[in-house]
Amino acid sequence: MSVIGRVGECSPPYLVMPITIESSKPRMCHDARFFLNLCVKDYPFTLDTLKEVPRLIERNTFMSSLDDKSGYDHILLHKNSRTFFGLEFAGWFMVFNTISFGFKASANIYHMTGLVPISYCRALGVPCLLYIDDQLIVYLTRMGYKQHIECLFTPTRPFLGMICDSKRLCFVLPDDKKQTFITLREDILKSKEVHLKTLQRFAGKSNSLMLAVPAAKLYSKEVKRAISMASKNSKPIPLYYNLKEELLYWGFLDNWSDNKILIPIHNLVTFGAKAIVNALSAAKGPVKNSRIDIYCDNMAVVGAWNNHGASDPALNKILKEILVISQESNIDLHLFYFSTKDNPADIESRRISMQDVKLADEKWKIGQCMFIPHTVDLMAIDSNVMLDKNFNPLKLYSPFPSKLSAGVNVFSQDVSGEEHAYVFPLFCLIFRLLKFLQESCIGNYTIIVPDLYPRPTGILRIVRTAELCRSCGYANDAEFNFFSFVVLKDQNLLK
């Protein structure tokens, strides 16, 4: 920051805007809402969030997190632009020399600047995430770094308000964040009335717990209904019965330490919200520690489950019963809409998109010669399944029932006994598929991935040069002999 001169004795900056203090940190904020920000174009951008973390880490992965100190002070403003960042304090005119907290474009500028070294690290094969000034770096033992670097990396690291635990493969709620939430909840319960801002704080904190606490959003429906009531007038609202009951339920968080790991195995088809409760209750033993896919003909039930609640209190009560059962049996539950008019025998109801492509026959023959001959196609349909050397279709797993299908939805199947598998997945499912194959302990497999640049988050973990195995003579990864892959560089390879 530079001093221009005393007020009344020098020419003021072109814009002189007030300053305020953000109480949560605290830090100085330049209030540019009503002047400078109105003249600046919006530049939307995306950030790496906690949802990207599972794509990068495996069990016992070492990680390190970084937080830039006074990050905005590293980006200088041009001298001609500093006159638009003026302020007046204690009778003196001053201007910012760097981008200020409160300027609309500051976050975009700093994040895009930080992407330069992050993209370079990803190109070198170092998995990392960036959220403005917060970074998470993953250490891979196969990269060949010396062991002494592990003193800087640990299997448990804080990132964006959560603790990422690679030992248990889960997100852990920090004690200070949990205690802050408990204190706010108890303060609300002690009073007979509650103000709008207090309810909004509670709703925001409960939503931030979603990754560590399953269905946290489901248990905030009454709070959001109360916010809607309080926003219609400036008066506080009474702590009515349903709202108090929902707040009291959050008492389970006082001793919360339940972080479970899910293993996908089974598939289940049923209908109706209450039928789901009965079906899961009857099948508690066989489906324990499993992924369950439920196909339901009630769109309201499917939408309520996927959105973590509905406006109907009766439906929310049933969803809570389903959640309790899934937690007790350690079930990863997924609901899908299934119309009663749909019939697997109805060919016209199956619409094939442009994404249902396959490898060209000549390239498939090359792959069969380079790698161990494949015996199963993990993601295919009857019309694009690959053929073996005798021109017979491989065993296949399809997205819907069909004549040649050995199972519907490969993520709901037990594929641990499969050998020499081949898969050409939808590119948006690559990372989820790799996790699934790793957890299933499947034998050697070949996967088709796109050759994109800059590298998407997580893809650098699989794009490595395949080498001939010294024992079997087939092309395998240099360190993991059960893993092979092909990179698509030419769109002509697709057919």
Helix (H) or strand (E) holding 181: helix 175-190
pLDDT band at 462 (very low <50, low <70, confident <90, very high): low
Instruction: Give me the phi and psi of 163, to 5 degrees please.
Output: -100, 120
Q: Are 213 and 173 in contact (CB under 8 A)?
A: yes
Domains of the chain from N-terminus onward: 2-142 (3.30.70), 175-255 (no CATH), 273-337 (no CATH), 361-493 (3.40.50)
Residue type at position 135 = Q
Between CA 495 and CA 491 the distance in angstroms is 9
**pLDDT for 267-282, tens place per residue?**
333 336 777 888 888 8
Average the pLDDT over each of 60-69, 182-191, 238-247, 313-322 and give the range with the smallest value.
313-322
Q: Are 362 and 387 in contact (CB under 8 A)?
A: no
Residue-wise DSSP of 366-433: HHHHHSPPP-EESS--TTT--B-TTSPBPEEEESS--SSEEEE-GGGS--TT--SEEE---GGGHHHH
Between CA 84 and CA 95 the distance in angstroms is 8
Mean pLDDT, rounded, for 98-108: 90
Instruction: Give me the phi and psi of 10, to 5 degrees please.
Output: -150, 165
Q: How buried is residue 63: exposed, middle or buried, by Cβ count under 10 Å (0-12/13-18/19+)?
A: buried
Mean pLDDT, rounded, for 10-24: 86
Q: What is the pLDDT of residue 93?
A: 92
SS3 169: coil
Query: Is pLDDT of 481 > 50?
Result: no
Between CA 101 and CA 72 the distance in angstroms is 7
Q: What is the pLDDT of residue 340?
A: 62
**Alpha helical stretches, state H, 73-174:** 106-123
CB atoms within 10 A of CB 405: 18
Query: Is pLDDT of 150 > 50?
Result: no
Bigger pLDDT: 105 vs 168: 105
Average the pLDDT over each of 220-229, 351-360, 373-382, 451-460 and give the range with the smallest value.
451-460
Q: What is the pLDDT of residue 272?
A: 62
SS3 167: coil
Mean pLDDT, rounded, for 169-192: 88
Between CA 163 and CA 267 the distance in angstroms is 32
Query: Is pLDDT of 200 > 80?
Result: yes
Q: What is the pLDDT of residue 485?
A: 43
Q: What is the pLDDT of residue 268?
A: 32
pLDDT band at 467 (very low <50, low <70, confident <90, very high): low
Query: Is pLDDT of 80 > 60?
Result: yes
Q: What is the pLDDT of residue 203?
A: 87
pLDDT band at 225 (very low <50, low <70, confident <90, very high): confident
Query: Is pLDDT of 262 > 70?
Result: no
State the chain's maximal CA–CA distance in angstroms.
92
Mean pLDDT, rounded, for 382-408: 86
pLDDT over 70 for what percent of the chain? 80
pLDDT over 90 for what percent of the chain? 4
Q: Characterize the bridge pairing of strands 62-67 and 27-30.
A: unpaired
Mean pLDDT of the chain: 77
Residue-wise DSSP of 200-254: HHHHHHHHTTTTTSTTTTGGGHHHHHHHHHHTTSSS-EE--HHHHHHHHHGGGGG
Q: What is the pLDDT of residue 463?
A: 46
Query: Is pLDDT of 479 > 50?
Result: no
**pLDDT for 287-344, tens place per residue?**
788 888 887 777 778 888 888 777 666 777 788 888 888 888 888 888 887 776 664 5
Between CA 268 and CA 266 the distance in angstroms is 7
Query: Is pLDDT of 434 > 60?
Result: yes
Pull the structure tokens for residue 57: 């880490």
Mean pLDDT, rounded, for 104-113: 90
